[in-house]
A and B are shown apart, each in its own frame.
Chain A
Amino acid sequence: MATDTLIDRRIAAPAAAQPRRVFVIDDDDVMLLTCRRTLEKDGYDVETFQNGLDGIRRIEQLQPQLLLVDLKMPELDGLQVIERVRKVDPDVVIAVITGYATISTAVEAMKAGAYDFLPKPFTPDELRLIVNRGHERWRLATESARLRREKEEAERRFVTFVSHQLKTPVVAAKQYLDVLLYTSASELTPRTQEWLKRAQARLDEMLTLIGDWLELARIERGIDSIGEPLMTSDLRKVISDVIDASQAHAQSAVVTLETDLAADVGPVRGDVVSLATVVSNLISNGIKYNRVGGRVTVRTRLEGGMAVVEVGDTGIGIAEESLPRLFQEFCRVKNDQTRDIPGTGLGLAICKRIVATLGGSIGVRSHVGEGSTFVVQIPTAART
C-alpha cells in the first residue's frame, strides 16, 4: 500500500469534521495578534508561532489547510520554512508575508512552493482575501485528489472484475475440452477430435486476448508497479530467464535462440514482470515471424547511460509502409506470409507502453525478406 500521507487521511475524513485552520508564523507578535483577531472573527481556528520550527513541529498534529509565513525571520527564514513544510505536508497551502512589495521576492517564494503573497502593510480585508482564497484552493485540491482516487479505485475494480469474470467461463470451457481430449481420445472419431481441438484453439485465442488487453489496461492506468522510481532489476538475468522459457517455442518452430549479452549491462530501471514482458514479446515475435532454421539473437550493450537491447531475427521482415503503425494497438501486418501466424496485435503496443513508462524508447529496423531488429533502450539503475 502507498504510504499514508496527510492528504490520504484528510480525504478519508468527512469534510464537515475538518475545522478551517490557519497557522501564522511571524516573529512579530503584533502581527500575530492582528491576524488572530481578524481571522478568528471569520470562524477560522488560528495557531500562531513566533518561529518556523515551532510551527513545523505542530503541522502533522493540527493539520492546518493554510500557512501564513513571514519571509524575513531571524532563525529560519520564510523560504527555509516552506522547504521544510513541504517535506512534512506537501499539500498545505502556503502564503508568504513579504516586507517589500517587490516582484522578485514574491516570485522567489512562489517558486519555493508558495501559492500567494501578502505585502506588508495590509488591511484586514486584504488578509481575509488571501486566506479565503488559499483555503478555497486547498478545498479544491483535496476534492480533486479524492475524485481521482475514487476513479483509480473504480478502474482497479473494473480491471479485476473483467479479469475474473471474463476468464472464468472460458477457462472452465477449455478445461472440459482439455480433459475430454486427454481421457477419451480413443472413443472419439478423428473428426470429433479435430473439431474439439479447433474449439480449444479458439478458446486459447480468447484467453490470450483477455490477458493482453488487461495488461494494456493495467499499464495505461498505471495500476501496475511499473516505473516506481526505486524498482530496479537485473536485465541480464531477466533476458536469460526469458530465453530459457522461450526454448520450447523456438524448438517447435525450428528457430535457434542466441544471446550476446554485455557484462556491464545489469541493473536497469523497472520491475522483473514488466521487463520480462517486453523481452518475451520481442523474442516471441522473432520466433513467430521467422523462417524454419532461422535465428533470433538478443544483444545488449551500454550506450550513454542506457541499456540497449536488440532483438534481431532472420525472418520475413516488415515492409516500410507497415512500420509507422507497428506499435499501435491491434496492428497486425496482414499478407500471404503472415496469414497463419497467431497473435492479438497488442504485443508491441504493450512493449511501447512499458518502455515509455520506464523512461526508455523502442524502435525497429527492418527490410522485407531480410529480418527485423527491434531496439529497446531502458535507463540503467545508476541513472535513476
Chain B
Amino acid sequence: MTTPRSVLIIDDDPDFAQAVGGLLASSGYEVMTASNGRDGLDRAKKELPDLILLDVMMTERTEGFFTLQQIRRVPALQHTPVIVVSSIYTDQSVFRVNPEAGWLPASLFLPKPVDPARLLQESARLIDELAATTSGEPRAGSVTR
C-alpha cells in the first residue's frame, strides 16, 4: 500500500486553504494547513510534507518570502517542492520568473485562483521529479512508515 502524499498549505486566507485543500484531498493527498509563516515553518519541520503550497503575500508584506527562506534553511526541507501562489502574479509568459534564477528558491509560481487541473498536474510532477532524482533513497530525516 502506497503512503498517501502529504501537502502543507501555508496561507492566511482560510477559504483558499479550504478550497484548495479539498481539491488535493479529493485527489488522495493528506492535507495540512497553517495560517501564518511561523506556524507553517514549525509544521513543515515536524511533518516533513512531500509538497508545500505557500502564499507569497500574507499578513505581513514579506512574510511569504521570509518563510520560504527559512524553510530552505532546514536541511530536511532543502529539496521539498514548494509552489508559491499569489494573486498579484500574472500568468503571461513574458513575466515568468525562472525558478532556477536562484534569487527565490521556489519550484514554481502559480497565480491565484489556481487552476485545479494545473495544480494537480504540477504537484504530481514535482513530487515525482524529486523521487526520481533521489532514486528512491530515503531523504535525510524522513521517517519510514
* B-binding residues in A (CB < 8 A): 163-164, 167-168, 171-176, 178-179, 182-183, 211, 238, 241-242, 244-245, 272-273, 276, 280
Contact = CB atoms under 8 A, between A and B. Distances in A.
A245 B94 contact: yes
A179 B16 contact: no
A171 B22 CA distance: 16
B87 interface: yes
B113 A183 contact: no
Given A171-B87, A173-B15, A183-B23, 7 more contacts: A168-B87, A171-B16, A174-B113, A175-B19, A241-B93, A242-B92, A245-B92
A168 B112 CA distance: 9
Nearest to B88: A163
Query: What DSSP secondary structure best describes chain B's contact surface?
Result: helix
B114 A175 contact: yes
A120 to B, nearest CB: 58
A174 B90 CA distance: 16
Interface string B1-23: 00000000000010110011011
Interface in B108-145: 112-117
A346 to B, nearest CB: 15
B57 interface: yes
Given A167-B87, A172-B15, A172-B16, A179 B94 contact: no
A280 B112 contact: no
A171 B16 CA distance: 8
Nearest to A176: B19
Interface residues of B, number: 22
B93 A168 contact: no
B103 interface: no
Contacts of B92: 242, 245, 276, 280
Nearest to A272: B94
A179 B87 contact: no
Contacts of A273: 94-95
A11 B117 CA distance: 52
A276 B113 CA distance: 23
B20 A179 contact: yes
A182 B113 contact: no
Which are the 4 A-B pairs with shortest beta-carbon distances? A182-B116, A175-B113, A172-B15, A175-B19
A238 B94 contact: yes
B113 A168 contact: no
A171 B116 contact: no
